[in-house]
Amino acid sequence: MSPTDPSPLATSSRSGPLPDADDQEWASGKPSDEVLLKGPPEHSRKFLLTTSIVCFLAWVFSVYDFVLFGTLLPEIAKTFEWSTSTATAVATWVTLGTFFVSLAVGPLLDRVGRKPALVFCTVGAALTSGLTGLANGALALIGIRAISGLGYSEEVVNSVYLNEIYGKSRRRGFMFSFVQSGWPVGALLASAFAAALLPFVEWRWIFVLATFPAIVVVFLARRLRESPAFIALRRTRELRKEGRANDAERLAALYDLDITRDQESGLRQIFAPDLRRHTICLSAAWLLNWMGIQVFAVLGTTILTDGKGVSFGNALLILIVSNAAGFLGYLAHGYVGDRVNRRTTIMVGWIIGGAVMTVMLFGPNNAGFVIPLYALGIFFLNGPYAAMLFYMSESFPARVRGTGPNAAHIMGPVGAILGAGLLTIILSTGVDVPMAAFIAGAVGMFGSGLVMLGCRKVDQNHHHGDVDDDVDVDVDDTDAVTA
């Protein structure tokens, strides 16, 4: 025993359901050392289902607010008498604002907790919706909508939190894919509410109405439990401060946590030699793929009508089909990722998606050919994100499981700006729409799949933090979490 460790902790094994007393301590978020050292608790199916539903709803209403702004931007521009260029500029500044606000989510996850981050991001989405209805000009709108970066980052919070709650379940990726499918659900709700309510109320009220369900989700989220992994991580930090380094290491080993550089800042850790390449490649993948999302998902209707001759009257059909394809894509890639490998699933999915979009762009200008291929392309463009988010959370050590994924995640809006800008520049040179969309969008999709080759290989059959020896990382820097 180290002389700095006044009272060594003794571990014990746990098997079967939690005793009521232990369960109450875990529910409080501050279990005693005696309970903590029995090992990670086993969660009931009811608990996992309830937690998943709350996270799903939190994501749905975060997406609803995020998408609603783009949907109602033409109406907002009419109210403030903006030109198209002014509206576009406002949207760009909003995107930049969300980038900077999103930076706070990673440290919040790693230092304050997974559950508080979930509540905070959901509050941010509710606050953004309510305040948007009160905006009186461009500057106010930009400042308010920048807060939507919290709602945008809610999917990162979900992936980190649920990764640790689901533990070693072999179906954990498929389970998460249902939660992640909140994106197409939220997008469809935003479009449906806008279409149904705009004839009767001003756009401001549609934002205000979105506040109330988000507030309900906030109260539901407050009733959730903190993840056992973060509770153990927090306790190791306390033990180190008390001078009980050996006890901190024993506890970390019990929960498969790596705490070797936990005293350093999160940003410094993710760019240390063992994680640097992984962080850079993940960030590049998000940036490049969001160029494809901007071109084919956000501007998809424009590409199909101006570039492929599809009637604008088919816009509603395109919206429904593409979101249905995205929903099925999430489930399919979540399922395949569990059985094959999430990293491989992401790579193959995005490369196939790039190929499908290329065939669609340069194939016949026929709605019967274009729309099915467009839907298939969206299937492979959006679907891999169900595997991607869960892969990111299990590929970083618990001590930077928020900062690492969030650093990559925030590159998405940057890619969207680059994709839109590149598309505009190429079109201004006289290049036709299919070729411009191929360069600005499809090439990014191909690239995003290829750069995943530089990311860590996670051994999903053993624990969350394992990596193969041929990857340029320090194998000792890995960890896993059993929940």
Sign of the Cα pseudo-torsion (60, 63, 69, 71, in order): negative
pTM reported for the whole predicted model: 0.86
Question: Any idea what DSSP says for residue 304?
Answer: I
* pLDDT per residue as tens, the chain (483 positions): 444 444 555 544 454 555 667 778 888 778 888 888 888 888 888 889 999 999 999 999 999 988 888 888 888 989 999 887 788 888 889 988 999 999 999 999 999 999 999 999 999 999 999 999 999 999 999 999 999 999 999 999 999 999 999 887 788 999 999 999 999 899 888 888 888 888 899 999 999 988 888 888 999 998 999 999 999 999 988 888 888 888 888 888 888 888 777 777 878 889 988 899 999 999 999 999 999 999 998 888 888 888 888 886 676 678 788 888 999 999 999 999 999 999 999 999 999 999 999 999 999 998 889 999 999 999 999 999 999 999 999 999 888 999 999 999 999 989 999 998 999 899 989 999 999 999 999 999 999 999 999 999 987 765 443 344 333 433 333 333 333
Q: Identify the residue whose tokens are 């439990």.
A: 225
- Say which residues have a Cβ less than 8 Å from residue 102's Cβ, sequence separation at least 6: 149, 150, 152, 153, 406, 409, 410, 413
Q: How many CA atoms lie within 13 A of 84 on its CB side?
A: 0
**121-133 pLDDT, tens digit each:** 999 999 999 999 9
Contact between 25 and 32 (Cβ < 8 Å)? yes
Q: Which amino acid type is present at position 378?
A: I
- pLDDT in the model for residue 87: 85
Q: Find all residues with CB under 8 Å of 462, minimum gap 6, and list them.
A: 480
Between CA 480 and CA 462 the distance in angstroms is 9
Distance (Å) of CA 187 to CA 58, 62, 182, 303:
13, 10, 8, 19
pLDDT one-digit tens code per residue, 311-325: 866 766 787 888 889
CA 450 to chain centre: 20
Neighbours of 277 (CB within 10 A): 16
What are the tokens at 314?
A: 């088919």
Which residue type sits at 148?
A: S
Tokens describing residue 210: 């979105």
Q: Measure the CA–CA gap between 277 and 275, rounded to whole angstroms.
A: 6
In tens, the pLDDT along 439-483 reads 999 999 999 999 999 999 987 765 443 344 333 433 333 333 333
Residue 256, pLDDT score: 85
What does the pLDDT read at residue 9?
Answer: 56
Q: Confirm if 247 and 239 have CB atoms less than 8 A apart.
A: yes
Instruction: Return the structure tokens found at 222.
Output: 């407050």
The answer to whether the CB of 291 falls within 8 A of the CB of 441 is yes
Tell which residue, 336, 329, 357, 346, has the closest CA to residue 433.
357
